Amino acid sequence: MADTLNPAQLAAVHHLDGPCLVIAGAGSGKTRVITTKIARLLQEGYAAKNIAAITFTNKAAQEMRERAKHLIGARAAKDLAISTFHSLGVRILREEGTRLGLKQQFSILDSDDVLSVLKDAGGTTDANQAKGWQWTISLWKNTGITSETAIHAAKDENERVAAVVMGRYEERLAAYQAVDFDDLISLPLKLFTNDAEARGKWQDMLRYVLVDEYQDTNAVQYELLKQLVGTRAMFTAVGDDDQSIYGWRGATIENLKKLPLEFPRLKVIPLEQNYRSTGNILRAANNVIAGNPKIYEKKLWSEFGDGDPVALVESDGEEHEAERAVARINALRGGGFAQHFAEFAILYRANHQARVFEQALRRAQIPYKVSGGQSFFDRTEIKDLCAWLRLLVNQDDDPAFLRSITVPKRGIGHQTLGALGEFSKQWRCSMFEALFAESLGTVLSKKAIGSLHEFGRYVNELQYRAEHTVGAEDARVFIMEWLGDIGYEQYLIDQEENEKVAQARWGNVLDFVDWVCKRCGGQITQDGGSTFETERQSVLQVAQTISVILSLAERGEERDEVTLTTLHASKGLEWPHVFLAGVNEGLLPFKADDEEMTADRLEEERRLMYVGITRARRTLAVSTLRRRRKGRETVMGVPSRFILEMKLHESIGREDPREKLKRMREEMAAKAAARDVQAAKDAAAEGKR
DNA sequence: AGCTTTCAACTTTTT
DNA sequence: GTTGAAAGCT
């Protein structure tokens, strides 16, 4: 990317004296605009703590902070209020919650917690029913519907039941002094709407607000934003109406339409220069999205030249498609177009599509990662136990040491640990090594050293046992004893006032134990035709695996792997070589058998296709299935209408794809005929036998 | 009748 | 790879 900003980016950065909406096309350098604008605001005299940047995911927030750090230095970046909508909500509620009758240490329920409260409130043990309620209630809460108004919003019998359950659910939350994720937005909004003093205080604190991925905001988030910026309206919203793909969870592009109406001084700036993809890819993207009605006109272009034409891949079925993808990866690498596996991504509509690709990649010995899921390891209770396991693997892991020695509390406080830390710094050793140092007596009391030694000895004992415990059953016994020794269940109960929440957390712990034990015992894996049994592992070996996974995740280190991900999860990412899988009618655009395709739905599916296309930097393959398995029978695969909409014949440097499509159809028909003949022969042979 | 086994189907997801 | 439903077995 060039060192200087282009005129549109500059305009976006320098428009400081009023509301600003940046329509940031895919790959148009929007994060750069946001961070540069933050620097500009600082220059303009804004204090760092008065600048708020709001994102949707923690990852995005972290990334933005990193980028800001590079630009303005760590010191200034530290004070910036960069956070997600939700963590900003937490901050507001921690400080002002008492005004809403919420104690300062209210608890936040995650979706598992919510599920168990809902089962309880609805008097059911059926997880699916409770999940249905959870979904409906969350959607209501995200569109501004409360337990009072829910009954009017209910459209069928199920929803009417959900509305009743919602009432009881909300009562329970209030009784537990707990909030769910949606409350983290709606309660601050309620506060600001009713309490001018609190509103004034926060408007004064967050004097300039930047919002990333504005097209993903829901109705409640929009209202909160309005309350935050007040009539001063000093804000910049950055978003792309063409990349709004979260309508199904309450995001609404109404928020984009409303903005100029509610803020007449709004300056709208489109960013159209793309710094990511080749001309052929952008042309296909523009052609597809042209099928949608426009809110803000924009057309992406780049200076990269036409590049390779977009490839159209047709395969006989899912397995064949996966083979074609593997072949393509090998061909591009062999041809010197790519050096690393990490340059490739395979994108698909639904998670289950990943499986076939996983098998094919494994067979071809190509490393891959499936994105999404793994958030399991983010839970505090799991992190606690992982810290212990990490310590067993590597005693010199100081963060793991600190977490283990304080979880659960064992009478070793920050005084002792501070001294130990100081000591280890001085002697350039790890804290665990410092534990048994003789000269420790000069800085710490006998009693403190006693408890430290006890901890150290226990860790050594655990480590020995972990190394020698093999197999699922023994592993379970060992781990449960360990958890009993450290009193972890009791710790969870003490930690959490709400008994239900504590139980749910303990449930997660048990899941984790299962997970570990499963890996300790030999497991039978079926891969394609072959069946093999993996080695039985010791607890320590499994812990090592976990440590590796965690440390890679922590350092954000990239392994050289092909990425498999859903289209939704791919937004914001990019790869040199992208393979769009299963671009068939019914899959993309997705259509369930029992539901009709509305214009809104189709438009969102089209945006999803657009997001997929624009992930590619250099080459893009669009893959369709001639035959699609649907249960036992094989149905005819119809290429997605989006493929036609790409107008690939406009691609430069290839044969006319309409001709190619025609040829492929003929081939398909011939093959199908041949198959039928073969099938008839087989049947005849079967009959003879 | 109640249990086990087999078979098919399966949106998208963050906090 | 998991779950739910239907068919088959005791």
Write the Ramachandran bin of A81: left for phi over 0, alpha for psi from -120 to 50, otherwise beta: beta
CA A336 to C1' B12, whole Å: 35
**A352 Cβ nearer than 7 Å to chain C strand:** yes
- Answer for A128: CB within 7 Å of strand C: yes
Peptide bond into A589 cis (omega under 30): yes
Distances (CA, A) of A335 to A310, A314, A331: 17, 21, 6
Q: Tell me, yes or no, whether A535 lies in a domain.
A: no
pLDDT of residue A525: 46
CATH code assigned at A420: 1.10.486.10
A42 located within any domain: yes
Q: Is the CB of A351 under 7 A from strand B?
A: yes
The 3 state secondary structure assigned to A401-430 is HHHHHHCCCCCCCHHHHHHHHHHHHHCCCC
Distance A592 CA to C5 C1' (A): 20
Specify the nucleotide whose C1' lies closest to residue A604 (CA). Answer: B12
* DSSP SS3 for A81: strand
pTM, 2 dp: 0.79
Residue A628 contacts strand B, CB under 7 A? no
Return the percent helix, strand and coil in chain A, to nearest 5.
60, 15, 30
Contacting residues for A515 by C-beta, under 8 A, at least 6 apart: A376
Nearest protein residue, CA measured to C1' of C4: A128
Last residue of a domain, one of A520, A535, A551: A520
* A102 belongs to a structural domain: no
The residue range of the domain holding A342 is 311-367+560-654
Angle, vertex CA A648, rays to CA A643 and CA A649, nearest 5: 135
A374 touches strand B (CB under 7 A): no
CA distance A210 to A208: 7
Residues A143 and A216 in one domain: no
Task: Name A470's bridge partners.
Answer: A538
Q: Is the CB of A593 under 7 A from strand B?
A: yes
A140, A230: one domain: no
Which residues 478-507 in chain A have a CB closer than 7 A to strand C? Answer: none
Task: Say yes or no: A55 and A203 in one domain.
Answer: yes
Specify the amino acid at residue A174.
A
- Same-domain status, A89 and A195: yes
CA distances from residue A609 to A329, A620, A622 in whole angstroms, order as listed = 21, 12, 10
For residue A355, give the nucleotide whose C1' atom is nearest its CA.
Answer: C1
Per-residue model confidence (pLDDT) at position A109: 81
In the residue annotation, A555 being an active-site residue is answered as: no
Q: C1' nearest to CA of A182: which nucleotide?
A: B15
- Provide φ and ψ at A43, rounded to 5°: -60, -35
A243 flagged as catalytic: yes
Is any atom of nucleic acid chain C found less than 7 Å from the CB of residue A355?
A: yes
A303 part of a folded domain:
no
Is the C-beta of residue A566 closer than 7 Å to nucleic acid chain B?
A: yes
User: What secondary structure letter does DSSP report for A638?
Assistant: P
Which of A460, A427, A457, A432 lies closest to A442, judged by CA? A427
CA A617 and chain centroid, separation: 22
Listed residues A520, A542, A575: the one ending a domain: A520
Using C1' positions and the CA of A142, the closest nucleotide is B15
Tell me the per-residue pLDDT of A420-437, one tens digit each, with 9 for 90 and over.
888 888 888 888 988 888
Query: CA–C1' span, A343 to C4, in Å?
Result: 39
Which residues, including other chains, have CB under 8 Å from residue A127's CB and lie 6 or more apart?
Answer: A115, A119
- Can you list the residues of chain A whose pLDDT is less than 70? 1-3, 372-378, 496-501, 521-535, 549, 551-558, 630-634, 653-668, 671-672, 675, 679, 682-689
| Closest C1' nucleotide to A353's CA | B10
**Number of domains making up chain A:** 4
Tell whether A101 is covered by a domain.
no
User: Do residues A479 and A539 touch, judged by C-beta distance below 8 A?
Assistant: yes
Long-range contacts of A97-106 (CB under 8 A, 24+ apart): A97/A187, A99/A191, A99/A195, A99/A198, A100/A187, A100/A190, A100/A191, A102/A177, A102/A179, A102/A187, A103/A177, A105/A177, A106/A177, A106/A178, A106/A179
Whether CB of A518 is under 7 Å from strand C: the answer is no
Nearest nucleotide by C1' position to the A246 CA atom: B12
A441 within domain boundaries: yes
> Is residue A238 within 8 Å of residue A210, measured between CB atoms?
yes
pLDDT tens string A27-73: 999 999 999 999 999 999 999 999 999 999 888 898 999 999 999 98
A200-203 contacts, C-beta under 8 A, 24 or more apart: A202/A92, A202/A228, A203/A228, A203/A229, A203/A230, A203/A232
Residue A158, domain CATH: 1.10.10
- Bases on strand C under 7 Å from any protein CB: 1, 4
Q: Which of these, A108, A158, A113, A114, lies nearest to A136 by C-alpha position?
A: A158
Residues near A175 by Cβ (< 8 Å), separated by ≥ 6? none
The region that residue A303 occupies, defined by phi over 0 for left and psi between -120 and 50 for alpha, beta otherwise, is: alpha
Q: Is residue A286 part of a domain?
A: no
- Residue A308 among the catalytic residues: no
Within this chain, do residues A389 and A504 fall inside the same structural domain, yes or no?
yes
Asked whether the beta carbons of A378 and A553 are under 8 A apart, the reply is no
Do A371 and A563 meet the contact criterion of CB atoms below 8 Å apart? yes
A409 and A500, same domain (yes or no): yes
d(CA A368, CA A357): 10
Query: How many Å does it take to go from CA A352 to C1' C1?
Result: 9
Q: In the structure, how far is the CA atom of residue A126 from the C1' atom of nucleotide B3, in angstroms? A: 21
Lookup: tokens for A288: 């597809």
Mode of pairing for the β-strands spanning A524-527 and A530-533: antiparallel
- Range A522-530 contact pairs with CB under 8 angstroms and sequence separation of 24 or more: A522/A471, A527/A359, A527/A362, A527/A363, A528/A359, A528/A363
Query: How distant is C1' of B15 from CA of A53, in Å?
Result: 17
The whole-angstrom separation of Cα A8 and Cα A593 is 45
For residues A248 and A162, membership in a common domain is answered with no
Q: How far is the CA of A614 from the C1' of B4 (A)?
A: 50
Nucleotide closest to A525 measured between CA and C1': C1
- Residue A443 and residue A403 share a domain: yes
Token code pair at residue A5: 């900003």
A590 touches strand B (CB under 7 A): yes
Q: Identify the CATH number of the domain in which residue A623 sits.
A: 3.40.50.300
In a domain, A533, yes or no: no
Burial label for A659, CB within 10 Å (0-12, 13-18, 19+), is exposed
pLDDT score for A337: 86
- Indicate whether A324 and A395 sit together in one domain: no
Strand B nucleotides with an atom less than 7 Å from a protein beta carbon = 7-15
Coil/strand/helix, residue A238: strand
C-beta of residue A557 within 8 angstroms of C-beta of residue A609: no
Q: CA A352 – C1' C2 distance (Å)?
A: 11
State whether A383 and A259 are in the same domain: no
A28 CB contact with strand B at below 7 Å = no
Burial class (CB in 10 A: 0-12, 13-18, 19+), A499: exposed
Residue A590 CA, nucleotide B9 C1', distance (Å): 16
**In terms of domains, do A22 and A135 share one?**
no
> Phi/psi at A621 (nearest 5 deg)?
-115, 130
Single out the residue in A520, A550, A568 at which a domain terminates. Answer: A520
Question: What does the DSSP 8-state code read for residue A558?
Answer: P
Q: How many residues does chain A have?
A: 689
The answer to whether the beta carbon of residue A350 comes closer than 7 angstroms to any atom of strand C is no
- CA A131 / C1′ C5 distance in Å: 20
Strand nucleotide closest to residue A127 (CA to C1'): C3
Respond yes or no: is residue A212 known to be catalytic: yes
Buried (b) or exposed (e) across A515-538, using 16+ Cβ within 10 A?
ebbebbbeeeeeeeeeeeeeebbb
Catalytic-labelled residue, pool A36, A134, A136, A243? A243
A415 and A342 share one domain: no
The pLDDT assigned to A518 comes to: 74
